[in-house]
Amino acid sequence: MVEPQGTVFFLILMVVFAVLLTWLVIAKHAVFRVLAACLAFIPAMLFGVAAVNRYYNYYQTWGSIVADFTNQAWRRFRRCRISPASRESASSGFRRRPAPRRPRPDTFSSRR
């Protein structure tokens, strides 16, 4: 199967781009040339996105892409359980206070 990081996927995008560029060169009417140029932009853009995906190793499957774009991944995080200890500290209003700032000694003073 063609995966988002597979070599076959990159080859398919290159072939589609080459076919659209060939149509761009062969077309006689300006309307078809503009249409071919606009359609050729899509596989070129997807090739760039796929190259970045392959470099950063972000999406390994098509399902992870669908889950990310349909906001399915967020639903998994909302169901996380909160430990009783963190729930208790949150309800008591305990917050860590920042350390008090100490004045810096004036190192550039002319008086010593």
Reply yes or no on whether the pLDDT at 57 is more than 90: no
Domain positions in the chain: 7-75
- 63 and 3 in contact (C-beta within 8 Å)? no
Name the band, by pLDDT with cuts 50, 70 and 90, for residue 87. low
Reply yes or no on whether the pLDDT at 6 is more than 80: yes
Task: Output 62 or 90, whichever has higher pLDDT.
Answer: 62
pTM above 0.85, yes or no: no
Report how far residue 75's alpha carbon sits from residue 8's, in angstroms, rounded to the nearest whole number.
32
Name the band, by pLDDT with cuts 50, 70 and 90, for residue 18. very high
The answer to whether the Cα torsion of 17, 20, 24, 30 is positive or negative is negative
The answer to whether the Cα torsion of 58, 64, 61, 41 is positive or negative is negative
Reply yes or no on whether the pLDDT at 52 is more than 60: yes
Mean pLDDT of 60-68: 87
Report how far residue 36's alpha carbon sits from residue 42's, in angstroms, rounded to the nearest whole number.
10
Residues sharing a CB contact under 8 Å with residue 16, sequence separation 6 or more, in sequence order: 43
Mean pLDDT, all residues of the chain:
81
Name the band, by pLDDT with cuts 50, 70 and 90, for residue 89. low
Name the band, by pLDDT with cuts 50, 70 and 90, for residue 69. confident
